[in-house]
Amino acid sequence: MKYFIRAVTLSIIITGLLLSWATFASESESVGAATYNEKGELVLPEGFREWVFIGAPLTPNGLNNGEAGFPEYHHVYVNPDAFAVYKRTGRFPEGTVIAKELVLLQSGDYPDGSKNAASGRGFFAGDAHGMDVMVKDTSRFSETNGWGFFNFGHHAVPYERTAVAASKSECAACHTANAGKGMVFQSYYPVLRR
Amino acid sequence: MKYFIRAVTLSIIITGLLLSWATFASESESVGAATYNEKGELVLPEGFREWVFIGAPLTPNGLNNGEAGFPEYHHVYVNPDAFAVYKRTGRFPEGTVIAKELVLLQSGDYPDGSKNAASGRGFFAGDAHGMDVMVKDTSRFSETNGWGFFNFGHHAVPYERTAVAASKSECAACHTANAGKGMVFQSYYPVLRR
């Protein structure tokens, strides 16, 4: 009986230690929500629509000569572990993934794309129509200020399965010029300003 | 040694069972993200900005005679456990909490509230300015089609700490008339339409 109790105690302690380690390991690893294939292309992140939402800038086609650069809602999400670090430190850690899904407006009653609804005249999201991702990795993307930029297609779902890093002129140039050193347009995202 | 191995095996099985039960219990309980105080008032949900984002309808003041009913972005979130059930079944379970945070636009360059930005002319979120919550509880809120409606203040943060259920005419009447039987304006939320 003495052996039995000792053995039970010991095995509970071991199980506890293993569980703590597993939790710690999964936390450290999951900050890196970016996965690359053998060619070094970024794999389309999964489950991003359940990450932490940071904002929904809206650039309607109707206010941009019929073709906005990013039509039209930009639903922007950060992977939760990276967001937790940002909340604590005000900085995005290595491995941060920011996903921007483009969503077209529902067809409007007015030229600007707005329509009448029970809650008033406004803008309402229609179908998903594109996917851009930025990943923080200062060594891998040293040429573009530490962030890699990826376009998984600006069209209806399904998006491309993988994407190569965009050239400096495609995305990073505008982020560098307009978003400041951090490369993220923080001023447009309420929860990042707090 | 034989006793030791048997004991270890047994305790691992017991620990496993306890963990499964704990996981199951926490899943069942956490679908109810609503907490009431001793007066039966709903307590302001915590952490709702990290729940699952479902959409950001936008009713600018500039398109609603200077005062939209819900100014201006409606950032809408569902508690994650309820969303998981919705994804599987297409129905919101008892205890579902839907939080709608109102967020004013950044001051615009145009009368409609839009401004010029690197990504084009559009709408960008300024400061948080209000909080409405709906809770599914068919027995508690049988008078308003199974959902309770709560207003934690339409003003800058901090919001009220608690709120009493709104009368039928304040919120439920419009949801009943315009959102259909389910009481949620599903058609405006891309991830609920899928």
Minimal C-alpha gap between B35 and chain A (Å): 23
Select the residue of B77, B119, B177 nearest A69 (Cβ to Cβ).
B119
3-state secondary structure chain B: CHHHHHHHHHHHHHHHHHHHHHHHHHHHHHCCCCCECCCCCEECCCCHHHCEEEECCECCHHHCCCCCCCCCEEEEEECHHHHHHHHHHCCCCCCCEEEEEEEEECCCCCCCCCEEECCEEEECEEEEEEEEEEEECCCCCHHHCCEEEEECCCCCCCCCCEECCCCHHHHHHHHHHHHCCCCCCHHHCHHHHC
Q: Which position has the token pair 């906005």?
A: A68
Cβ pair B143, B132 in contact under 8 A: no
- Considering only A33-37, B27-31, B94-98, which range has the smallest mean pLDDT? B27-31
Mutant choice from B11, B13, B102, B116 vs A, greatest count of A C-beta within 10 A: B11
What are A149-190's pLDDT values in tens digits?
A: 999 999 999 999 999 999 999 999 999 999 977 899 999 999
Select the residue of B3, B63, B73 nearest A56 (Cβ to Cβ).
B73
pLDDT class for B14, splitting at 50, 70, 90? Answer: low
> Chain A contacts of B114, Cβ < 8 Å?
63
- Tell me, which fold does domain A32-192 have in CATH? Chalcone isomerase (3.50.70)
Average pLDDT value for chain A: 89
In the beta sheet, which residues pair with residue A115?
A122
How far is residue B73 from each of residues A58, A98, B70, B76, measured CA to CA in Å?
A: 10, 21, 8, 9
pLDDT class for B181, splitting at 50, 70, 90? Answer: confident
Task: Provide the token pair at B154.
Answer: 């339409």
What are A27-51's pLDDT values in tens digits?
A: 343 456 899 999 999 999 999 999 9
Minimal C-alpha gap between A121 and chain B (Å): 6
Mean pLDDT of B23-47: 75
d(CA A104, CA A77): 17
> Chain A contacts of B15, Cβ < 8 Å?
11-12, 15
Q: State the complex-level ipTM.
A: 0.84
> Chain B contacts of A106, Cβ < 8 Å?
188
Minimal C-alpha gap between A39 and chain B (Å): 31
> Under 8 Å CB-to-CB from A71, ≥6 apart: which residues?
A59, A60, A61, A102, A104, A129, A130, A154
- Considering only A85-94, B11-20, B139-148, which range has the smallest mean pLDDT? B11-20
How far is residue A74 from each of residues A68, A69, A70, A150, B106, measured CA to CA in Å?
A: 11, 11, 7, 15, 16
> Chain A contacts of B59, Cβ < 8 Å?
117, 119-123
Minimal C-alpha gap between B193 and chain A (Å): 10
**pLDDT, position B19:** 56
Minimal C-alpha gap between A75 and chain B (Å): 8
Q: How many CB atoms lie within 10 A of CB B168?
A: 13
Inform me whether the pLDDT recorded for A95 exceeds 70.
yes
Q: Which chain B residue's Cα is nearest to A9?
A: B11
Provide, rounded to the nearest whole percent, the portion of chain A with pLDDT above 70: 85
pLDDT class for B182, splitting at 50, 70, 90? Answer: confident
Cβ pair B42, B162 in contact under 8 A: yes
pLDDT class for B30, splitting at 50, 70, 90? Answer: very low
In the beta sheet, which residues pair with residue A97?
A135
Burial group, residue B13, by CB count within 10 angstroms (0-12, 13-18, 19+):
exposed
Per the CB < 8 Å rule, is B122 touching A68? yes
What are B52-78's pLDDT values in tens digits?
A: 999 999 999 999 999 999 999 999 999
What are A110-124's pLDDT values in tens digits?
A: 999 999 999 999 999
- Considering only A56-65, B26-35, B162-171, which range has the smallest mean pLDDT? B26-35
Select the residue of B58, B128, B178 nearest A122 (Cβ to Cβ).
B58
Per the CB < 8 Å rule, is A178 touching B118? yes
Q: Which chain A residue's Cα is nearest to B191?
A: A49
Per the CB < 8 Å rule, is B122 touching A185? no
Mean pLDDT of A76-101: 96
pLDDT class for A12, splitting at 50, 70, 90? Answer: low
> Chain A contacts of B185, Cβ < 8 Å?
118
Per the CB < 8 Å rule, is A117 touching B59? yes
Cβ pair A110, A117 in contact under 8 A: no
> Chain B contacts of A55, Cβ < 8 Å?
125
| pTM (global) more than 0.90 | no
What are B73-91's pLDDT values in tens digits?
A: 999 999 999 999 999 999 9
> Chain B contacts of A119, Cβ < 8 Å?
57, 59, 68-70, 74
What are the structural domain ranges in chain B?
Answer: 1-30, 32-192
Q: Which of B44, B109, B113, B101 is nearest to B73 (CA)?
A: B101
Average pLDDT value for chain B: 89
Per the CB < 8 Å rule, is B15 touching A10? no
d(CA B71, CA B60): 6
